[in-house]
Structure 1
């Protein structure tokens, strides 16, 4: 990021993100780890308070609808006052919801499922296994079903329906 923006150091980038966070333009969520020290030093994921900011500062020529949906889910989880983290060891799971600092739910946001369950469920399954959770939620643009995959219950729901819950 610092090279793309032409900034001097990682500390400068962290400072700018801190300024944006203090002004409530962006929010960050840390990587979940049982070690607080590892949580502090791991990279954080950044989400915008308004999806229009993503379009303004994006370096892409086309909209990343998947990132927009993920940002929308983040904002709703934040509105619901959830304690949020993300998971990443080999694969990434977008959101780990905790209560009393213990993971209680894992949520993955995917634009649309393409049929490659190993790839699409990978991060979610890794998080479910890591935190001893029996079921996980995948939010998509329009798909809805439930299945058991590798011994874990996977609930796939459209984001619009989840937002109305």
Structure 2
């Protein structure tokens, strides 16, 4: 549901504006968190140019999560997973299931996995998932 009550009851994900501050709080998967934070900041920049763009994340009752759900108006436009992994087997094991489930639920066709340095196009069932390194995603053409 898109009601304010439901949105406010979701657990929040916290991102920081200055990644230098994050050096004060070291986490075991620190680089992955910095990558996800960089993606979030870039999405916020996109949101400044496209005020109808809403940024969410999705987690279901089985704790499957999609890092970023991009919505414009009523339509979900993109689903994005961010991972530090660059191993195809690990990426497929950890990231693909949630993307496929949520893409079916929201009828979304643009599925992206942003990784450290893995680049490929995965064909899974009837879906295509673009895997792109973070650096390449950051310099891409910003249109959907």
TM-score greater than 0.5 by the shorter chain: yes
Higher relative contact order (CA 8 A, sep 6+): 2
- The structure with the largest alpha-carbon Rg is 1
How much has 1:113 moved relative to structure 2? 3.9
- In 2, Cα distance between equivalents of 1:162 and 1:108: 12
Tell me if structure 2 keeps the 8 A contact 1:103–1:131.
Answer: yes
Q: Per the alignment, in what secondary structure is the counterpart of residue 49 of structure 1?
A: coil
Q: CA deviation at 1:51?
A: 1.2
Q: Which runs of 4+ in 1 moved over 6 A?
A: none
TM-score (norm 2): 0.81
Q: Aligned pair 1:145/2:120, yes or no?
A: yes
Of 116, 121, 126, 2:96 maps to 121
In the TM superposition, 1:66-145 aligns within 5 A as 66-81=32-47, 82-89=53-60, 90=62, 91-114=64-87, 115-116=89-90, 117-145=92-120
Shift in Å, 1:65: 0.6
What residue ranges of structure 2 are gaps of 5+ in the alignment? 48-52
CA RMSD of aligned residues (A): 1.8
Structure 1: give runs of 5+ residues left out of the alignment: 1-32
Distance 1:118 1:42 in 2: 26
2:25: which partner in 1?
Answer: 57
Aligned length: 131
Matches of 1:54 and 1:129, distance apart in 2:
35
1:47 aligned onto 2:8: no
The 1-side partners of 2:105 and 2:15 are apart by 24
